[in-house]
Amino acid sequence: MDIFEEMERRGHEQVIFNYDRASGLKAIIAIHDTTLGPALGGCRMLPYASEEAALTDVLRLSEGMTYKAAAAGLDFGGGKTVIIGDPASDKSEALFRALGRFLETLHGRYRTGEDVGTSEEDFVHSWKETRYLVGLPTAYGGSGDTGDNTALGVMEAIHAALMHRFGSPLLKGRRVAIQGLGKVGYHVARRAVEEGAEVVAADINPHVVGRVSSQLGIEPTDPWAVLETECDVFAPCALGNVINQETVGRLHCQIIAGSANNQLENDSLATELMDRGILYAPDFITNAGGLIQVANEIQGYNPDRVRHQIEAIYDVLLAIFQEADQTGQSTTAVALAHVQSRLNTMHAIHRIHA
């Protein structure tokens, strides 16, 4: 990969390679765009097949964080960290303290916290070296797990999509298919059941499906079948790229609104969904609840403000759905144009100095 060409293409400001021989830490921090404020974004740890795969992932994810923060009205930029390593065997106090020391060198230009492969407990080690962290356990000043607030945002997106498609936001009597019953999917299922929806759900972990279906009284299905379920709402709450050339023709839903990052394998699928009559709630708006929660830790945590900001997802999406209908563009294209417009406007006001 020609790194500078890729940075120019995606709009990145900075990519930092961090290596600590003693702990074995190999981490890449990518800062995409700090127009709105210091960068914010989680730290993923995976046994990447190659350094190039890790670099591609951190560039793509940090870019997505810029859009997510901008769309949520937050004054933070996009950033992300990837650690190359196996979370099952390569974690240590030294590794996360080394990461903390590298974060400290950025003086708050970037903050991170848990993501796929890392846990809030890992960052308790980093906390001994730096305060530029979010999402720590409550005992260390964090706001706790983000799963339910992310689910709350997903529910707002579902309500907006139902309103746009059927003229009522109510879930009562609607059929919702959920893929993935983890930290977010569980709460989406719970909230949907509480609102009177008929819920069918799948998880690759059979113990999770068994436990959640008996607890919530939902219909279990298998991970493949959930995609084809005839339903009003399909909520992808597992991994990315779930909508691809192979799966798009198998969907039987009216609406897609879920928490997974990068649900569409590529941007052209947004148009294909539109052509197939499926209303897609862009993932980077729908799943912003967790980011909104941790961003508020930095500004002085206030649960009412967090809730207020998450509830705004409803209005933001309703406006995007309407504009997409009026202009014939995909919802993703309209959402990205809104993000770019906010970045341009905020960039312009930064010319004003005291």
Catalytic residues: 80
Q: What residues have CB less than 8 Å from 339, skipping those under 6 apart?
A: 66, 67, 70, 71
Q: Which residues of 315-352 are buried (b: 16+ CB within 10 A; e: fewer)?
A: ebbbebbebbeeeebbbbbbbbebbeebbeeeeeeeee
185 binds ligand NAD, rule: CB under 6 A: yes
- Token digits for 44? 């993923």
179 binds ligand NAD, rule: CB under 6 A: yes
As a whole number of angstroms, the distance between CA 213 and CA 215 comes to 5
Each residue 1-30 as x (binds ligand NAD by CB under 6 A) or -, in order, gives: ------------------------------
Hunting for tokens 């406006």 — which residue is that?
A: 319
102 vs 220, which CB is nearer to ligand NAD?
220
Whole-number minimum distance, CB 157 to ligand NAD, in Å? 12
As a whole number of angstroms, the distance between CA 296 and CA 170 comes to 29
Tell me which residue of 123, 132, 116, 110 sits closest to 41, measured CA to CA: 110
With CB under 6 A as the contact rule, which of the stretches 24-32, 232-240, 301-309, 311-319 interacts with ligand NAD? 232-240
290 binds ligand NAD, rule: CB under 6 A: yes
Is 264 annotated for ligand binding? no
Whole-number minimum distance, CB 54 to ligand NAD, in Å? 17
3-class secondary-structure state, position 227: helix
Contact 235, 263 (CB under 8 A): no
41 binds ligand NAD, rule: CB under 6 A: no
Hunting for tokens 């964080």 — which residue is that?
A: 65
The terminus-to-terminus CA distance of the chain in angstroms comes to 42
Is 106 annotated for ligand binding? no
With CB under 6 A as the contact rule, which of the stretches 6-14, 16-24, 31-39, 178-186 interacts with ligand NAD? 178-186
Among positions 202, 251, 278, 310, the unique one binding ligand NAD when judged by CB under 6 A: 202
93 vs 222, which CB is nearer to ligand NAD?
222
247 binds ligand NAD, rule: CB under 6 A: no
Contact 78, 66 (CB under 8 A): yes
As a whole number of angstroms, the distance between CA 306 and CA 295 comes to 9
117 binds ligand NAD, rule: CB under 6 A: no
Return phi, psi of residue 98, to 5°. Answer: -60, -45
- Token digits for 95? 């590794």
Applying CB under 6 A, the site for ligand NAD has a residue count of: 24
Hunting for tokens 């790229």 — which residue is that?
A: 241
As a whole number of angstroms, the distance between CA 63 and CA 39 comes to 11
Is 183 annotated for ligand binding? yes
Is 181 annotated for ligand binding? yes
With CB under 6 A as the contact rule, which of the stretches 2-10, 52-60, 95-103, 257-265 interacts with ligand NAD? 257-265
Among positions 69, 70, 176, 260, the unique one binding ligand NAD when judged by CB under 6 A: 260
Whole-number minimum distance, CB 87 to ligand NAD, in Å? 12
Whole-number minimum distance, CB 222 to ligand NAD, in Å? 9
Residues forming contacts to ligand NAD in the complex (CB under 6 A) are: 146-147, 150, 179-185, 202-205, 208, 223, 237-239, 259-261, 287, 290
Binding residue positions: 180-185
Residues annotated in the binding site for NAD(+), as ranges?
180-185
